Amino acid sequence: MSTRTTNIRLAGVGGQGILVASEALCDALLSSGFDVKKSEVHGMAQRGGTVNSDVRFGPKVFSPIIPEGEVDLLLAFEQMEALRYLPSLKAGGVVIVNRQRILPSAVASGKLEYPAEIESRLAEHAAEVISVDGLTLAKEAGSVRSVNICLLGALSRFLDIEESVWESVLTERFRNKGLEANLRVFALGRGNTGTR
Amino acid sequence: MNTTVLLSGNEAIARGAYEAGVRVAAGYPGTPSTEILENITQYETIYAEWAPNEKVAFEVALGAAFGGARALCTMKHVGVNVASDPLLTASYTGVNRGLVLVSADDPGMHSSQNEQDNRHYARFAKIPMLEPSDSRECRDFTVRAFEISEEYDTPVLLRTTTRVNHGKSTLSLSDPQEPVFGRFECNLQKYVMIPAYAMKRHVIVEERMIRLRELSNTTDLKAIEWGDTSIGVITSGIAYQYVREVLPEASVLKLGMTYPLPDRLIRDFASKVEKLYVVEELDPFLEEQIRSLGIEVIGKERFPIVGELNPKLVAAGFDRSARVLTGPDAREDMGAPTVPSRPPVLCPGCPHRGFFHVLKKMKAIVTGDIGCYTLSVLPPLEVMDTCVCMGASIGSALGIRRAQSPDDRRPVVAVIGDSTFVHSGITGLIDAVYNGTAATICILDNSTTAMTGGQEHPASGKTLMGAPAPKLDLAALARAIGVEDVLVVDPYDLEAVEKALRYATRTDRPSVIITNRPCVLRDRSQKPPKSSIALEMCTGCQVCFRIGCPALESVTADDKLRARINADLCQSCGVCVQVCRFEAIGRPEE
C-alpha cells in the first residue's frame, strides 16, 4: 500500500447528488482498509451554488481538505465546475468530467458567456481527461436521478478497490430504493472508456 | 463493540452524547451545528428538541442539568450571543448534572453573517473549553466534557469549527452509558442568583478556575509530538491537522483543552524548542495568553486573522520568503478567473421570488433578516438594504422610520422568515405596536427553517422528534399583539402581493403581511404542467430575467436574446407567467 495520501475532489452544483456519491466513495475506501477523511460545506452553498467535496485516503490522513494543487483525481459533475477546479489539479492528475452543463444565473440571463472549449482546456493541464455522458447513461439504465452513481462508476476505474466492495457498498446504500438501476448505472459508468 | 465508522464531527458529537448517557438535548438550527440534533434523534434514550431560539435552548438544557439529567445544547457561533445571558450566570450557579454547550463556529463564513471567535466566551464566562480536531475527538471530548462538567460543577464549552463539524473521519464506537435519573434538589444559595448569593458563587467560580487550570496542565486531552526542536508549534482544533500536514517534522503541542490554558505545560514546551509558533484560526486567543506568560511567540504576523486557515496558508506562514497573507484568499485562489461564479440563488419555484419582485416596485427601504430570503440582496433582485442578525429586520425598520425626516416618504418594510420571526422577531413587533411606529412587517412564512435544510419550528406543526405539534398561528399572534392590519397573501399571486403591499405601506400604523406558501423543497406534492414560452411571442424584452429564476434561460433566436424555460428545473409557480407583458409564457392548461 502506498504511504502517500490520494486526493479526490468531487465538484458540481447543488442538487446533483455530489454528497451521496462522496459518501459511497468513502464507504468503499473504508471497507478497503484505508484511513479516510472527507470535507464538504453545507448550508448556503447548496442553494444552486457550487458544491464540492474532498475525499482523502491513505495509511494516515491529517487535513480533511486537500492542499492546493494536490488533487489526484477531479470528478466534475458539470463542465464549468471542472474548469473552476482545474488549478487545484496536480501535475499528472486525471479529470473525469460529466458532459452536462448547468447555467449559473449570470449566464442563463445572457450577461456572461459559458466558457468555451472546456474539454480541450482540461486536456492541456490534465494527464488524462475522461468525458462521461452521465445523463444519457443514467437514462439508459432507467434512473435519470443516478448520474452521480454513473460518475462514481467512472471514477472507480482509477481506484484499487475490489468490484465486490463497490457492489456491497451500493447494495447497502440503495437496498430500498432503486438498487438494480443503480448497479446498472454504476457498471455503465465503470465501463465508460472516455471517448469524446 | 468495536466497529470502525466514518462519521462527521456533528454525527460524532451526537454519538458522544449518546455514549455519555445524555437525556436531554436542545438547540436551534444553525450552520454548521444543525446535524448534531438531527442525528441525536436516532438515539431513543435522548429527548431532543428544537427550541424557539438559542437562549431558550440553553435554559432548557440548564434546567435539565439542574434537574439531574445530563444535557447537551447545540448552536452556531452567533447563537451563543443569544444564549449568553443565561450562560454567563450558569457559570455561577453550576450545573448539578453535566451540561455541555456546543458552539459551532464558522471561520470563513460559509453560511454566517460574521466570523466571531467564540473561544472568547470560555474566558468571558469563566468556563472550561475543549476543542476537538477530528470526529474521534468530537465523540471522545463530548464524553470527557460531561465528566469535567460534573467534577467541577460547571457548564463546559465544546468549541468546533465548520471543517470539524462537516469533515468526516474514522472512529470506533463504544458502548453507551445508561442514562442516570437524578433529582432536582433545592439549594437556594446555589440556584437563586440574587446579589448576596451570587457574590458567594463568584468566589466559587474563581476557585474553580484555579482547579481547572491545574486540570488543564495535567489532563491527557493534549498531545506532545516531539520532532525537530528548532520549530515548536502550539495549536488546537482543525489547525493541528494543517500543521501536521505541512510540517510533519516539527515538534507540536496540541491542546485539546484550550481554556484555561496550561501555563506550566506551555512554559515547559517553549523552553525546549528554539522558535515557538502558535497556529490558530481567527483571533490570537492562545497567542495573547501565551505572550502574557512572558513567552516570545510568533503568530498572527504569519497566519491570517481573517478567514479560515487551510494547508496552503499554514505552509506559507512557516516560509519566511512567502508573502504574508492577511486576507481570506483561500476561496478566490481556488478558482480560475475565467470561470463565471455560481452564487447561491433562490430555488426555482421559491415562494420568496415573486414577493421580492413586487416589493422592488415599492421603492421602499427594506430591512432584511437571516434566512434564504437574504439571497434577494443579490442580482437581479437586489431588494434588501440591511441584514444584521436574527430578528434585526423589525427593530432596525422601526429605528429607520423614527430617523426619517418629514420629507422622506419612502415606506419602511421589514422582511423576516417564519422561523426567524419566532426566534426573535416577536418582541420587535410588540415594540412597533406599543410605540405606534408605522412600519410594514412582512413574515415570509414557508413553514420551515429553510436555509439550514428544513427544520421544524413552533409554527411548522411538528417537533424535532417527528411528533405533531400545535401550529403557532402567526396571524392570530400579530392580532393579539395589537396589529390592526394583518394581511395574508399567496406569494405566487403577484397582484394580491402588490395590493397588500400598497395598502400596508400607506397606513400610518404598524402593519403585517404574511405570505403563506410552503418552501418548494418541502412541498413537492403539487406538480402541475410546466410553464412554457412561445418563442414566436417572446419579444426579447428580458423582463422575466429580472425575477432571477434559474429555470429561465436565454437563447438566441433570430439574432435576438430570448427566454426559454428549462422544464427540468421549472416548478410551475407561475410567477414568470404573470411577469411577461406579452403573454408569451403560459401553462399548457391555460
Helix H or strand E encompassing A123: helix A118-125
Which ipTM was obtained for this model? 0.93
Longest CA span, chain B: 83
Helix H or strand E encompassing A163: helix A163-174
Asked if pLDDT for residue A53 goes beyond 90, the answer is: yes
Higher-confidence residue of A195 and B446: namely B446
Report the C-alpha gap between B95 and B62 in whole angstroms.
7
Q: Do B548 and A43 touch (CB under 8 A)?
A: no
Q: Do B344 and A61 touch (CB under 8 A)?
A: no
Query: What does the pLDDT read at residue B265?
Result: 98
Q: Where are the beta strands (DSSP E) in B206-304?
A: 222-225, 228-236, 250-255, 257-259, 275-279
Q: Do B134 and A84 touch (CB under 8 A)?
A: no
Query: What does the pLDDT read at residue A109?
Result: 81
Query: What does the pLDDT read at residue B527?
Result: 60
Helix H or strand E encompassing B9: helix B9-19
- Among B17, B10, B26, which residue's Cα sits nearest to residue B463? B26
Asked if pLDDT for residue A152 goes beyond 90, the answer is: yes
Q: Which residues from chain B sit within 8 angstroms of residue A47, using beta carbons?
A: 344-347, 372, 375
Asked if pLDDT for residue B331 goes beyond 50, the answer is: no
Query: What does the pLDDT read at residue B561?
Result: 84
- Among A23, A18, A20, which residue's Cα sits nearest to residue A49? A18
CA A52 to chain centre: 9
Angle between the A163-174 and A179-191 helix axes, to the nearest 10 degrees?
Answer: 150
- Residue B573, φ and ψ in degrees, nearest 5: -75, -25
Task: Provide the CATH topology of domain B532-586.
Answer: Alpha-Beta Plaits (3.30.70)
Asked if pLDDT for residue B184 goes beyond 50, the answer is: yes
Query: What does the pLDDT read at residue B336?
Result: 47
Amino acid, single-letter form, for residue B181: F
DSSP output for B122-164: HHHHT--EE--SSHHHHHHHHHHHHHHHHHHTS-EEEEEEHHH
Q: Where are the beta strands (DSSP E) in B392-471?
A: 412-417, 440-444
Q: Which residues from chain A sit within 8 angstroms of residue B312, using beta carbons?
A: 67-68
Higher-confidence residue of B262 and B327: namely B262
Q: B68-126, pLDDT tens digit by residue?
A: 999 999 999 999 999 999 999 999 999 999 999 999 999 999 999 999 999 999 999 99
Average pLDDT of B51-76?
Answer: 98
Q: Do B345 and A13 touch (CB under 8 A)?
A: no
The vertex-B393 CA angle with B388 and B394, nearest 5°, equals 140
Q: Which CATH class is domain B351-515?
A: alpha beta
CB neighbour burial string for B134-149, b if at least 16 within 10 angstroms, e if fewer: bbbbbbbbbbbbbebb
Average pLDDT of A10-30?
Answer: 93
The vertex-B251 CA angle with B248 and B256, nearest 5°, equals 95
Q: Give yes or no on whether B351-515 and B532-586 have one common fold.
A: no
- Residue B272, φ and ψ in degrees, nearest 5: -100, -5
Nearest to A110 among B6, B31, B554 (CB): B554
Domains and CATH numbers, chain A: 6-104+115-191 (3.40.920.10)
Nearest to A109 among B111, B238, B545 (CB): B545
Asked if pLDDT for residue B332 goes beyond 70, the answer is: no
Average pLDDT of B427-454?
Answer: 96
Nearest to B340 among A30, A85, A106 (CB): A106
Nearest to B241 among A48, A63, A105 (CB): A63
Side by side, the strands of the sheet bearing A89-98 are A128-132, A89-98, A71-76, A6-13, A50-58, A35-40, B168-172, B4-8
In CATH, B222-330 is 3.40.50.920 = yes
Q: B454-505, pLDDT tens digit by residue?
A: 999 999 999 999 999 999 999 999 999 999 999 999 999 999 999 999 999 9
Q: Do B312 and A67 touch (CB under 8 A)?
A: yes
If contacts are CB pairs under 8 Å, which of residues 222-281 in chain B contact chain A?
238, 241-242, 244-246
Amino acid, single-letter form, for residue A188: L
Please state, rounded to an integer, the average pLDDT across all residues of chain B. Answer: 93
Report the C-alpha gap between B115 and B109 in whole angstroms.
6
Query: What does the pLDDT read at residue B536?
Result: 76
Asked if pLDDT for residue B334 goes beyond 50, the answer is: no
Long-range contacts of B120-125 (CB under 8 A, 24+ apart): B120/B283, B120/B285, B121/B80, B121/B84, B121/B87, B121/B157, B122/B157, B122/B159, B122/B258, B122/B259, B123/B259, B124/B84, B124/B88, B125/B84, B125/B87, B125/B88, B125/B90, B125/B91, B125/B155, B125/B157
Interface check B29 vs A, CB under 8 A: no
Query: What does the pLDDT read at residue A2?
Result: 62
Report the C-alpha gap between B82 and B74 in whole angstroms.
12
DSSP output for B465-534: TS-B-PPP-HHHHHHHHT-SEEEEE-TT-HHHHHHHHHHHHHSSS-EEEEE----TTT-----PPPPEE-
Q: B497-552, pLDDT tens digit by residue?
A: 999 999 999 999 999 999 999 999 887 665 666 777 777 789 989 899 999 998 89
CATH number for the region B4-218 comes to 3.40.50.970
Which three cell numbers, joined as nine digits, stand for B240? 493541528
Report the C-alpha gap between B340 and B336 in whole angstroms.
9
Residue A196: band (very low, low, confident or very high) from pLDDT cuts 50, 70, 90: very low
Report the C-alpha gap between A131 and A77 in whole angstroms.
10
CA A95 to chain centre: 9
- Among B223, B212, B191, B245, which residue's Cα sits nearest to residue B62? B191
Total residue count of chain B as it appears in this document: 590
Average pLDDT of A108-114?
Answer: 87
Residue B281: band (very low, low, confident or very high) from pLDDT cuts 50, 70, 90: very high
Which of B8, B138, B166, B168 would best serve as a mutation to test chain A binding (most A beta carbons within 10 A)? Answer: B168
What are the boundaries of each domain within chain B?
Answer: 4-218, 222-330, 351-515, 532-586
Q: B286-301, pLDDT tens digit by residue?
A: 999 999 999 999 999 9
Residue B325: band (very low, low, confident or very high) from pLDDT cuts 50, 70, 90: very low
Q: What's the predicted TM-score (pTM) here? A: 0.95
Average pLDDT of A66-94?
Answer: 95
Query: What does the pLDDT read at residue A1?
Result: 46
Helix H or strand E encompassing B578: helix B575-579
Query: What does the pLDDT read at residue A108?
Result: 83
If contacts are CB pairs under 8 Å, which of residues 533-562 in chain B contact chain A?
542, 545, 548, 550, 552-554, 561
Give the distance from residue B162's alpha carbon to the nearest chain A alpha carbon, in angstroms: 8
Torsion sign across C-alpha atoms B106, B108, B110, B116: positive
